[in-house]
Structure 1
Amino acid sequence: MLTHTLADLGWSAHFMQQLDIEALETLQPMRVSAVHRDRLEAIGTAGPAALTLPGGQETGAYAIGDWLMVEPETLRVITLLDRATTLARRAAGTDARQQLLAANVDVMFITTSCNADFNPRRLERYLALAEQAGITPVLVMTKADGCAGTEAREDWRARGEALMPGLAVQLLDARDPAQVAPLTDWWRKGQTAVLLGSSGVGKSTLANTLCGGAQGTGGIREDDAKGRHTTTRRDFLRASHGGWLIDTPGLRALRLQAAEEGIDAVFSDVAELAEQCRFSDCRHEGEPGCAVQAAIAEGRLEADRLRRWQKLRAEDRRNSETIAEARHRDRQFGKIVREAMRERDRRGKS
């Protein structure tokens, strides 16, 4: 059985400083490798194990990548250590809670492809998620072998780099180990990377190449670049160079929550212009002294990029509301509508 040191598994001073001597002498650190509805799986220095949760706790409070302190004899979870980084999105529907995606991640490989899958609005959401969490984002553009020459490759690279100032972009064929190898420049031994992207862009193929495993892969319809879902759970995989990879299912929706700083980091070019506007409450809709509209008029900023920034910020504000705040807003709106209808009826009778 393959065993690992704590450093191999990603243990660091961040976690060590949370423990006292008694915990170090009596408990065992383990890292969550899988989250199921009824149990957790984890890896420690002695290998993998199925863990027992304290009474009344649900697995939804844990994320793949979490560090736990475990009772060695019973394999019962005693403590969830504070996370270095957390990836989460707002749950579906009207629920205001967060849904955990992964924890203690160092780098995010945002995966898209050099075809119709490339979608700036979706990719900007992934980037904002990474920036808000303090995780290094790298845009990985697969299927570069299908580009018709150097000029086409550079055009795709430019489109990727335009998503965020200073963004690292890698174009590659996910099946080629030599082209995939440079990703380890951002991802050292013992560090953890997460793969995020839509279905059909080559995440499972990329995971296979990085980890030498046998992830299932599905076909893709070339006319619209729509792929079949092949990864249906989050996998915690050991990479060939000694890092760890969390491969996630293709996300159908990514609802940001409390991510204003991350959004502004992705759109730092727009946010910095907005700070130069004459009025602090400028809406960038033609007010005098608007630095954003001046940049658009001079061709230094695309109008669509401004609209995407505004839309994401507005969506994030809505998603960050508590249920009580959302209900209050809905009641206030309903009150305005009812008053407007009564006023209309009064005018109709006069």
Structure 2
Amino acid sequence: MSGSDTSSSLERLGWSDFFAAQVEPGEAHLAPRRVASVHRARLEAIDANGPVGLELAANANTADFAVGDWVLADPLTDMLVRRLERKTLLQRHSEIRNGLQLAAANVDTLFIATSCNADFNPARLERYLIMAHQAGTRPVIVLTKADTAADADDYRRRAEALQRDLPVVVLNARSADAIETLKPWLGAGQTVALVGSSGVGKSTLVNTLAGSASETAQKTGTIREHDAQGRHTTTARSLHAIAGGGWVIDTPGIRTLYVSDVTDGIDTLFGDISELSEQCRFRDCTHVHEPGCAVQAAVASGQLDADRLGRWRTLIEESRSRTPVETGPRGNKVVRRKKY
């Protein structure tokens, strides 16, 4: 394959000038490869020619890599040399490990899937939106199971109210029409990721986008319609080619999504509250009891929903309480998490 053909093939995988600029002159002989799946003891990748292996150093930790990462490898030995800087990174905080779990890297658009039933939860959707904003990727709400809802438009309106100019689409995850509905975000070389609760149709949608006959077709599970609880069918993150161009990353269902150190993401999501805050009499207004509070005035007039303000306050408090702080003498700082 010629150099130009190789470059074109890499671009179809999501390669861009952002990554090319990171390759040093002395690394021109190394092969760019994209991580397609992450396992406990190994990584799988793809390059311009298709699936390819990656050999890891003895002290390498696969937890340091995310599906979608670009790495440089020795083409003769398949040994991974180094990971390139990420353009975007989706990650979540884990209560059990008290740390970060990498979800996906170099994602252009995040599809946040929820269904038109009891799974629809504004507070949880806002956490996913904050995740997208912190990562620097575009969020899109994907509403599934509209055929089971008495009023699917009501779910659409409630989703659109979560953020200004938020794209919201309604589709049948099993229908080929889903590809056409999501086409604006599925261009060649584009990477999308799917997040959401178990049972909302993420794996079904991945199979629709990638083609159910694909060797990497995801298993799908059933859902209890009375409470919208589903089984976890995706247990690992993986990269799948989308028919006609682009890539999709499926992720396991997330039962609990914590926020920490996400002030920017909260400000973006709650832009209406941020703008109102600038009109408050006091710069450090908590929007609870202070006189001259523009936010409370907006609630009283009906301009701002009281429940939305309550969710904002919950997220702000959680982010502050879970954000690591440095303690200890200068030069010997120790990062600790605040206690609730």
TM-score normalised per structure 2 = 0.91
Deviation track 1:123-144 (CA, whole Å, cap 9, x = no partner) reads 0000001011110100000011
Quote the offset at 1:52 in angstroms: 1.3
Tell me which of 7, 16, 35 is aligned to 2:20.
16
Aligned length: 324
The residue identity in structure 2 corresponding to 1:279 is: F
Look up the match of 1:131: 133
Q: Whose helix proportion is higher, 1 or 2?
A: 1
Tell me which of 100, 111, 114 is aligned to 2:113.
111
**1:226 matches 2:229:** yes
Question: Residues of 1 paired with 2:9 and 2:123: CA distance?
Answer: 41
Show the 5 A alignment for 1:262-277.
Answer: 262-277=265-280
The residue identity in structure 2 corresponding to 1:253 is: T
Question: Residues of 2 paired with 1:258 and 1:323: CA distance?
Answer: 13
Look up the match of 1:197: 196
Deviation track 1:243-287 (CA, whole Å, cap 9, x = no partner) reads 100001101122223211111111111111112111011111121
TM-score normalised per structure 1 = 0.88
Look up the match of 1:258: 261
Matched residue SS, 2:90: strand
2:34–2:46 Cα contact (<8 Å) kept: yes
Look up the match of 2:331: none
Question: Residues of 1 paired with 2:310 and 2:136: CA distance?
Answer: 25
Question: Residues of 1 paired with 2:61 and 2:218: CA distance?
Answer: 28
Matched residue SS, 2:35: strand
1:89–1:101 Cα contact (<8 Å) kept: yes
Matched residue SS, 2:245: coil
Identity of aligned residues (%): 51
CA shift in 2, pair 1:329/1:226, >3 Å: closer
The residue identity in structure 1 corresponding to 2:318 is: E
Quote the offset at 1:41 in angstroms: 0.7
Look up the match of 1:290: 293
Quote the offset at 1:328 in angstroms: 8.5
**1:206 matches 2:205:** yes
2:108–2:191 Cα contact (<8 Å) kept: yes
- The unaligned stretches of length 5 or more in structure 2 are 1-5, 328-333
Question: Residues of 2 paired with 1:141 and 1:329: CA distance?
Answer: 36
Show the 5 A alignment for 1:157-168.
Answer: 157-168=156-167
Matched residue SS, 2:12: coil
**1:6 matches 2:5:** no
Look up the match of 1:345: none
Quote the offset at 1:313 in angstroms: 1.4
Look up the match of 1:89: 92
Question: Residues of 2 paired with 1:278 and 1:222: CA distance?
Answer: 48
Question: Residues of 2 paired with 1:242 and 1:288: CA distance?
Answer: 55
- The unaligned stretches of length 5 or more in structure 1 are 334-350
Tell me which of 135, 144, 147 is aligned to 1:145.
147
Question: Residues of 2 paired with 1:8 and 1:322: CA distance?
Answer: 41
Q: Which structure has the bigger radius of gyration?
A: 1
Quote the offset at 1:153 in angstroms: 2.4
Matched residue SS, 1:48: strand
Segments ≥4 residues shifted beyond 4 Å? 322-330
Look up the match of 1:120: 122
Question: Residues of 2 paired with 1:271 and 1:138: CA distance?
Answer: 22
Deviation track 1:60-85 (CA, whole Å, cap 9, x = no partner) reads 11111000000011111111100000
Matched residue SS, 1:281: coil
Matched residue SS, 1:49: strand
Look up the match of 2:76: 73
The residue identity in structure 2 corresponding to 1:75 is: D
Deviation track 1:211-231 (CA, whole Å, cap 9, x = no partner) reads 112321111111111111111
Question: Residues of 1 paired with 2:240 and 2:200: CA distance?
Answer: 19
1:106–1:187 Cα contact (<8 Å) kept: no
Deviation track 1:288-307 (CA, whole Å, cap 9, x = no partner) reads 11000000000011111111
Quote the offset at 1:94 in angstroms: 6.0
2:324–2:337 Cα contact (<8 Å) kept: no
Quote the offset at 1:326 in angstroms: 7.8
